[in-house]
Amino acid sequence: MLRKLRVQVSNEQRLVWAELLQWCNLLFIFCVVVEIAMASGLWVVSSGLKPFLRGHNSNVLPALLLTSGVLTVGLSAVGYVGSLHIASQYADERFFAIKQLMWFELLGFLLAIFSCVLGITSFTIVHGDILWAAERGVRAELSKYSTSAEVKLRLDNLQTKFRCCGVNGYRDWFTVPWQKYTSKGQDNLEDSVPWSCCSPKSSRPCIHFLVTQNVQHKAYSYPRDITLYTQGCVESITKYLGHHMFYICGGLMVFIGLTLLAISMWSRLLETSVTNSYTIGDPECTTWGYFIVNFGPDIEDLYAPIEPESEYSSYGSSSYYSTDEYSDETEETDEPSASGK
């Protein structure tokens, strides 16, 4: 289909298209800058969560997003300069812009595919890799809570910031000896959780020791009066990285890829039309713009100037009056004269 698709482009249309491409590239640069800012934020967040994502290199995808964004900004700048030269009235600047647009189209096509692949990867990586890595990482941190002050501080900050408790819920703390001393002795398990699991939305003082024992607390009924976060940290991390970061960045990358592909195809029509006008020798004539050269019997038509059609152009041709119609009119005019005689 692309081999046969071609469009007639006049000099006035080329100037208008060039100006529109300038604005499209400027707006596109703004969108990519937003994507770079989001990728930078994702890099910072992923670096902070790296201890809780065991077996997952959390900086690879943000680094690829940043690289793609920087390359896209540079490529859009090339497209802007090329369309700026096309809009110029000077023939030398137009001819110089042809090679710029050719590189812009080729690299834009490749970068558009790369951006779409990154966007799709951002969607798929959440449900598989991050979910598995977060569960392993958080569970490993829980086992070191009582022996490492660094892990204790890190895990308390995680539960406070992400409003979560345990791996999949607060009951995970009941299965690990997170306290050096308990009411039952040293390193014994009990139904208690760290203070960082306390929810500030609770209307009563937080109960994080002997959570399930109603007799130990006044006017307390478990689980109705629970004062802890009920959501696990694995779910919180996955939701935060997935819905707030990876999904948004992934959707934006797919949008950027498709937009870059559309701009590259539009630039291709403009570039081929300008190239054909210089091949003919008249930079202001109407020529064909196309995506792929049609290597067929009509290839010469692509490089031929298109003459504007006139409503009176057919009157001067010898075929305007056919021979049959002229003979019929002659017979009709001769019959009355013969009858009159």
Per-domain boundaries in the chain: 6-141+235-302, 170-230
* Alpha carbons within 13 A on the beta-carbon side of 155: 28
- What 3-state class would DSSP assign to 58? coil
Contact (CB, 8 A) for 208 and 195: yes
Q: Is the dihedral of CA 319, 322, 327, 333 positive or negative?
A: negative
All residues at 6 or more sequence positions from 208 whose CB lies less than 8 Å from its CB, including other chains: 192, 193, 194, 195, 197, 198, 227, 228
The top-scoring range by mean pLDDT among 180-184, 215-219, 296-300 is 215-219
Greater model confidence, 329 or 214: 214
Q: What is the pLDDT of residues 92-142, one digit of tens each?
A: 666 777 888 888 888 999 999 998 888 888 777 666 678 888 899 999 999
**pTM of the complete model:** 0.68
Q: Which two tokens stand for residue 178?
A: 């997170």
How far, in Å, CA of 43 to CA of 46, rounded?
5
How far, in Å, CA of 266 to CA of 64, rounded?
27
Residue 321 neighbours by CB distance under 10 Å? 11
